[in-house]
Amino acid sequence: MAISLPGRPEPGEYPSYSQAYIDTVEGGDILQAFTKQLESTVTLLSSIEDQRAGTFAYAPGKWTIKQVLGHVIDTERIFSYRALRIARNDSTPLPGFEEKDYAEFAGSNDRSLASLIDEFKAVRQSTIALFRNLPADAWMRKGSANNHTLTVRGIAFQAAGHEAHHAKILRAKYLNIS
């Protein structure tokens, strides 16, 4: 069976504050975007020394590399959960989440970078499997999360854009890579 991909989302399918995330995702094949990100982000993170990843923040009050990765993992899980609920036609409004609390209580700095990378790979593979196997009509289903209307398609691009946003910050502010 051929996979039916929905193309890029339109404004109104995601919160307006996510436009910058959506803009970072190239093309309309979200599965290809997820796969390319998985490869490039794992390569990027694998080059970082474990101790540095758990201690270095580019400015006071900013997260360490491990905390950034933990945040990306947690947020992707939440986006996937939202997409699953809406794809299955669950119209229950979904709550937001406080990312700073998640980062504070995740314990990312107490883990090895390798374990976080492994978890990122597992979560991303799960995300890919979820979206790869959606029925064609599920992509445009609408729901509500954090008091915003969105579609499953919008959530998928939001997830990819969120990861791209943080990978860009890691390259520029943590690793001085253009």
pLDDT value at residue 30 = 97
pLDDT value at residue 147 = 96
**Average pLDDT, integer, range 84-108:** 96
Q: Which residues pair with 8 in a beta bridge?
A: none
Distance CA 66, CA 56 (A): 9
**Average pLDDT, integer, range 42-60:** 96
% of the chain with per-residue pLDDT over 90 = 95
| Residue 104 confidence (pLDDT) above 60 | yes
Span 114-156, pLDDT tens digits = 999 999 999 999 999 999 999 999 999 999 999 999 999 999 9
Query: For residue 85, what are its two tokens?
Result: 């609920």
Span 1-19, pLDDT tens digits = 456 678 999 999 999 999 9
**CATH architecture, range 38-174:** Up-down Bundle (1.20)
Domain boundaries, the chain: 38-174
pTM over 0.85: yes
Residue 177's pLDDT band (boundaries 50, 70, 90)?
confident
Give CA separation, 127 vs 12, 39, 49, 81, 139, in Å: 22, 14, 27, 9, 14
| Residue 24 confidence (pLDDT) above 60 | yes
